[in-house]
């Protein structure tokens, strides 16, 4: 028979395990796969990760994350930040140097960092 103490210990154990899984996704290791230039639309929004790139001509999304533990928003190149700042609903189109931090997996969002950008244009969707 389960006592209250065992029940609470079980819930605490599940909560700690789920926190470990979430933090490993949100704050991945330094890039280990080759970086590549991706042409597409970068947007900030609600969700995790908050910044995403939609590569032109595809149906997939790339999640831009921070490699700094405890930091929710990623470090973006200054010129991207300046274009996003006036209007959070704005999208930035351009070429983004995306460095993956997770392996390619069909049907899953791939996480990574953006260390530079070029040929940027701010606009709506």
Residue 18: inside a domain: no
Residue 94: inside a domain: yes
For 65-119, write each residue's pLDDT tens digit: 988 887 878 889 999 989 988 777 889 999 999 999 999 999 999 999 999 999 9
For 8-56, write each residue's pLDDT tens digit: 444 334 433 333 434 444 455 555 789 999 999 999 988 889 999 999 9
Residue 12: inside a domain: no
Residue 11: inside a domain: no
Question: Which residue range forms the structural domain that includes residue 81?
Answer: 28-123
Residue 44: inside a domain: yes
* Cβ burial, residue 105 (10 Å; 0-12/13-18/19+): exposed
Residue 32: inside a domain: yes
Residue 60 CB contacts under 8 Å (≥ 6 apart), including other chains = 54, 109, 110
Residue 42: inside a domain: yes
The tally of domains found in the chain comes to: 1
Residue 5: inside a domain: no
């Amino acid at each position: 028979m389960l006592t209250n103490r065992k029940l609470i210990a079980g819930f605490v154990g599940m909560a700690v395990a789920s926190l470990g899984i979430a933090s490993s996704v949100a704050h991945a290791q330094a890039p280990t796969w080759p970086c590549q230039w991706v042409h597409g639309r970068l947007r900030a929004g609600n969700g995790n990760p908050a910044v995403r790139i939609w590569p032109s001509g595809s149906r997939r999304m790339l999640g831009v994350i921070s490699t700094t533990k405890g930091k929710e928003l990623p470090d973006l190149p200054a010129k991207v930040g300046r274009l996003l700042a006036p209007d959070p609903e704005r999208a930035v189109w351009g070429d983004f140097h995306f460095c993956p931090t997770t392996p390619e997996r069909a049907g899953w969002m791939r996480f990574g960092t953006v260390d530079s950008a070029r040929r940027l244009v701010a606009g709506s969707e």
